[in-house]
Amino acid sequence: MESTKRLRILVIAVACHPTRGSEAHFGWTAIRALSQDHHVWAIVHEHDRNAIESGQKSDERMAQVKFCFHGKPQQRSRHGLVARLQNWKDYYDWGNGAVELASRLHGEIVFDLAHHVTMASWRMGSILRFCRIPFVFGPVGGGEHFPVKLLSTVSWQSAVFEFLRRMVDIIGMLSPSVKLTLKTAKYVLAANEDTAKLMTRLGADPQKMRILNPASSFRRGRD
């Protein structure tokens, strides 16, 4: 039987790290899983260069991935709320610069597919909407909300962040970039049912929507 074609895949993973948890580890695991069957190029953040290059030395499969480092090392505030706001701004600035890099790489490599893996939020869309590559967006979350009646049980910093998050949600729902991402993506992967419903309301084709929880996906990437 004829073997499956090895595709040339471009991955966008601003959060990617071999030893950190949460989203950064998911970025690493997703890339590792894709590299098992395909040729992978990954645009990642410059501030993770040392950890990624070290991880490649100890992992034969990841050594085959071509990492493209972009951005500038960032200093984060020790204040949790401020650090989260810095993350949003950093991601916005990083994405604007990564468009040119992704387009240049596509001109050189001619990718079969692109996959925006992290950051996993629907609110800013994907830079891949500009790159003329068939792309997958997600899995992304953020459609779920913390119950208002429980805000009194959390710290004031968390309450303020939740309020700001709601404001960003409103901006995101009006954003042309978000709607264009959902309209042009070949597939949209949601991390949960709430986010799937939200992205459908914003214009994602239900026939191109899949629910794929990051906690249970890309398991092969850990083998």
Average pLDDT over residues 31-40: 96
Give yes or no for a contact between 47 and 94, defined as CB atoms under 8 angstroms apart.
no
Q: Is 217 a domain residue? A: yes
DSSP code string of 200-213: HHTT--GGGEEE--
Show the domain range for 86.
8-222
- Number of independent structural domains in the chain: 1
Q: Is 213 a domain residue? A: yes
Q: Is 2 a domain residue? A: no
Look at residue 28 in the predicted model and tell me its pLDDT: 96
Q: Is 1 a domain residue? A: no
Q: Is 89 a domain residue? A: yes
Asked whether residue 181 carries a pLDDT value surpassing 70, the answer given is yes
Q: Is 174 a domain residue? A: yes
Q: What is the pLDDT of residues 39-74, one digit of tens each?
A: 999 999 999 999 999 999 999 999 999 999 998 877
CA distance 116 to 27: 10
The pTM of this model reads 0.85
Residue position matching structure tokens 């042309």: 176
CATH number, domain with residue 114: 3.40.50.2000
Q: Is 190 a domain residue? A: yes
Q: Is 133 a domain residue? A: yes
Cis peptide before 173 (omega within 30 of 0): no
**Which of 64-73, 129-138, 146-155 has the least mean pLDDT?**
146-155
Mean pLDDT over the full length of the chain: 86
